[in-house]
Structure 1
Amino acid sequence: MKRRGILRGALAAGVAGTGLAALSTARNDIDAALAADHDNADVGFWESTAERYGYGYHGQAPTTVLADLVEDFAELKPLLARPQTDKTRTQLRYVTGQMAGMVAIVLHDLGEHRESHRWFATAKRAAQQSGDRLLHSWVLAREAMVPLNYGAPQVAAQLAEEARHLAGNKPSAAAALAAAVASRAYAISGHKGQALGAVAAVETLVERISPQQRADTWFGYPIQKHHVHMSQALTALGETQRAYATQDRALELSRAPSLMTRALIAIDQASCRAHDGDGEEAARIATQAYGQLPTSYRSGLTRTRALSLYRSLPVHTRGLDALGDTLGVLA
């Protein structure tokens, strides 16, 4: 518990420096354990641990969740290093892929995209060794969100298409997520035809996946999160009326959307307002959405989206100075 507290403190102060060193050590240890040919593992405990983390932040700061995940890796590593039956080893590698993928998701949300890519590489290695194509597809689709949200949508589209190929034609959460990410990547890249094709594909998939596949976790593809994905795709396509409808639906489907989800939807709404010619209202919505976020949520993805909107608005837009001040970018 003492080490967990120290790690939380280091990460809360920033991922760089001490926090980054701890992350790198944990990831390198897992990579070394995966490289060994590795029966006494409480697989059920680790499966339930991965499931618990899969429900997301639940109001916790991302750095707190990150510290807990990395600390649990320290306990998981000795099991990977010990000789196990083939079945147990496969199960442990599956869980490792899930947990490494979740570390990468949190790092992405915090804006640490380089370290996020490194953890996704570990997650991919574990997924490949587990032999589970859907887990591998999920990791790739999640990884595609890093270049998608940090300025390389064409790379994101390539990763998303690889994920779609791995998922195959059978309806699954991984297949739906991959198609959704592809739709966003194509839309941002300006490939409207491919974007609309991916939107149509994910709309078909979401009607066919099972209730289990729609679980509201990082591993599922719930309807509410579907609308969050479609919000950005349709916003980028300039399909503002469809975007407004899917944004409203995303909020309706969740009584208490996460802080990050609510902020991202609001920023999409602001972008739609800007597209429709109401820059002043766009600035007001974005200023309010970003300004109401706790400090721990003002880095990474939310800031990237708000800053992108800020830079897209004409310099004479009323309210732009207030948005810039909230973002801390005024000259």
Structure 2
Amino acid sequence: MIEREVSLRRLSGIVHFDAGYLSKIRSGFRTPSADLARKLDEALEADGALVALAPKTRGSIGRTSNVERARPYPGVPHEEDDDMERRRLLQALAALGITVSPAMEALQQIHGSVDRALGRTEENHLDEWEETVAEYGYSYMLLPPQRLMRDLAVDLVAVQQITARGGDERLSASWSRVTSGLSLLMAKTLCNMGEPRMARDWWASAQLAADASGDAELSLRVSSERLIRDIYEDRSPSVILQKANVALERGPRTPSRGLASLHSVRAQVLALDGRAPEAASDLQTIEEIAQRLPASATDVRSTDKWSEDRLHYTAAWVHAYAGDRGPLDKSVADAGAVLPANDPRTRAQLALLRASGHVRAGDVTEGVRLAHTVYEAQPAEHRTTLVSSLARKVTDAVPAQHRRNPGVTAYVELVASGSPGSSA
């Protein structure tokens, strides 16, 4: 444009594309279609140079979608559409109590200009976002669900805005992984808050993005995470087992975190269904997979990875439902030895599993006393669906002849109320 002394407005008139959209292409925020690249090449007499730079995956020259034909200029989104989408996202954040002031928006615009001046690309941002997803895997167990949900909402809006700009298509698979990771965390967080219906759409988005990324291991992991939540939400064990088997049949057999997680689903469901020998077989399979994974894949510092504590957790679940006190206590101790000291929920879940196992082994008084102590001490904001589900499973394990014991009735009232100290 500088060499040909063509202004943006004049170029817009020549190629019949919106000047605002052309400005975004010039600034690197949009990627032109092959058709637009051809028109720009002709208008600027670039001798094929601009056509050669256009991504080949955007579609063939001259082909126009129904959506594009509905716009004033083929292939060009309305600037108003972008603004409307932005306003909707800001309104959605405001409904969650998250406000973005004009000053903050201005700073973001200035920061974007500085980035472009420094030659900072979407690829640089991608590295940071992948780190962010990994950090969320750790903070997921530490932050109250309500707080985490708000943080995730802000970051999901930011990622949506980045991907909507249509940057380098070679990075689309990577951005799909980031979107899947954040959507997965949002789904799990909403489940923790007791909102399974709201979580349903996020599970679907996480699975869709995982599949779009081409990462088979991630697809397995999303499937297994959803099935694990189905266990805690008391879905039919036979249905969960069937879905796990289908996922195993369709997925790769290469040892991975996703494969280990699916076998964990099987082990837990089989134990829940009273099929202890089969559950033990899957537990053995998990141990074999874990031994073949690299150390980086079993790092306990991130719940995004198949970590050692999750292996012990699954073992504790299997032994709890079998009523095997010795192996159960050892698995709980082994998990506690590798868990972060400040994890407020996993330790409570393990203690509740231990309590239910002791009840099944015949020690009702001690099992219920332990469960009461653990649940009463759990901060209200960390009494998630998983924690409360395990607390209820302790009472489910109590034999009928012990249901009227004072200690049992006090514990039942505590769990039903969900309020610390309500049974005092």
Report if TM-score (shorter chain) is over 0.5.
yes
* Alignment correspondent of 1:90: 173
Superposition RMSD in Å: 2.5
Look up the SS of the partner of 1:55 in the other structure.
helix
Cα distance in 2 for residues equivalent to 1:200 and 1:155: 23
Q: State the distance in 2 between where 1:67 and 1:4 align.
A: 11
8 Å Cα contact 1:107/1:113 also seen in 2: yes
What do the CA deviations read for 1:272-307 (whole angstroms, capped 9, x no partner)?
111121111111101000000111012411112112
1:3 positional shift = 8.3
Cα deviation digits, residues 127-161 of structure 1 (max 9, x gap):
11111100100100101112111112233223333
Q: Deviations over 1:213-252 (max 9, x none)?
A: 1022222111122111221122123333222211111112
d(CA) in 1 for partners of 2:412, 2:144: 24
Deviation at 1:69, TM superposition (A): 0.5
Q: Does 1:241 align with 2:326?
A: yes
- 2: distance between equivalents of 1:292 and 1:5? 33
Q: Conserved in 1, the CA contact under 8 Å of 2:257 and 2:305?
A: yes
Letter matched to residue 107 of structure 1: L
In the alignment, what sits opposite 2:12?
none
- Give the structure 1 partner of residue 280 of structure 2: 196
Secondary structure of residue in 1 paired with 2:139: coil
Match of 2:382 among 273, 297, 315: 297
In structure 2, distance between residues paired with 1:104 and 1:199: 26
Q: Compute the displacement of 1:61 (Å).
A: 1.1
**CA distance in 2 between partners of 1:213 and 1:254 (Å):** 16
Alignment partner, residue 181 of structure 1: 265
Residue 4 of structure 1 deviates from its aligned partner by 10
Identify which of structures 1 and 2 has the higher relative contact order when contacts are C-alpha pairs closer than 8 Å and 6+ apart.
1
Task: Supply the distance in 2 between the matched residues of 1:318 and 1:308 (Cα, whole angstroms).
Answer: 18
Name the aligned partner's letter for residue 244 of structure 1: D
Give SS of 2:295's match: coil
CA gap of 1:96–1:114, structure 2 versus 1, over 3 A, is same
SS in 1 for 2:271: helix
* Structure 1 residue ranges, 4+ long, deviating more than 6 angstroms after superposition: 2-5
Q: Aligned partners of 1:105 and 1:88: how far apart in 2? A: 26
> What does residue 27 of structure 1 align with?
none
Displacement of 1:5 after TM fit? 8.7
Q: Which residue of 1 aligns with 2:415?
A: 327
Q: Cα 1:299–1:90, aligned 2, differ >3 Å: closer, same or farther?
A: closer
**Aligned residues with identical type, % of pairs:** 22
Contact persistence 1:270–1:286 (CA under 8 A): yes
2: CA distance between counterparts of 1:99 and 1:310? 35
Matched letter for residue 202 of structure 1 = I
2:61 paired with 1:61:
no
Other-structure match for 2:243: 159
Q: Distance in 1 between matches of 2:196 and 2:331?
A: 28
Distance, in Å, in 1 between the alignment partners of 2:320 and 2:247 is 23
| Alpha carbons 1:138, 1:174 under 8 Å: kept | yes
In 2, distance between residues paired with 1:274 and 1:79? 52
* 2:229 is aligned with 1:141: no
Q: Is the 8 A contact 2:133 2:178 kept in 1?
A: yes
8 Å CA contact 2:141–2:346 kept in 1: the answer is no
**Could you state the TM-score of these two structures normalised by the residue count of structure 2?**
0.66
Verify: 1:317 aligned to 2:402, yes or no. Answer: no
Please state how far the C-alpha of 1:310 moved relative to its aligned partner.
1.8
Contact 1:173/1:220 (8 A) holds in 2? yes
Determine if contact 1:7/1:67 at 8 Å carries over to the other structure: no
Q: Which whole-Å CA distance do the structure 1 matches of 2:374 and 2:264 have between them?
A: 24
Partners of 2:191 and 2:311 in 1: CA distance: 19
Corresponding residue number in structure 2 for 1:112: 195
CA offset at residue 167 of structure 1?
4.6
SS at match of 1:170: coil
Q: Who wins on radius of gyration, i.e. which is larger?
A: 2
Greater CA deviation, 183-192 or 135-144? 183-192
Write the letter of the residue equivalent to 2:378.
L
Displacement of 1:67 in angstroms is 0.9
Contact map agreement 1:186 1:192 (CA 8 A) in 2: yes
In terms of mean alpha carbon deviation, does 284-293 or 241-250 score higher? 241-250
Q: Give the C-alpha shift of residue 319 in structure 1.
A: 0.9
1:80/1:259 Cα in 2 relative to 1: closer, same or farther (>3 Å)?
Answer: same
Q: Take 1:154 and 1:110, find their aligned partners in 2: how far apart are those partners?
A: 26
Larger mean Cα displacement after TM superposition, 317-326 or 213-222: 317-326
Structure 1 SS opposite 2:254: coil
Displacement of 1:322: 2.2
Within 2, Cα distance between the matches of 1:117 and 1:45?
28
TM-score by length of 1: 0.83
In structure 2, runs of 5+ residues without a counterpart are 1-89, 99-120
**Offset of residue 257 of structure 1:** 5.5
Deviations 1:1-28 (A, max 9, x none): x989966659xxxxxxxxxxxxxxxxxx
> For residues 255 and 118 of structure 1, what CA distance do their matches in structure 2 show?
31
Contact 1:143 1:159 in 2 (8 A): no
- Tell me what 2:306 maps to: 221
Aligned to 2:19: none
- Gapped runs of 5+ residues in structure 1? 11-38
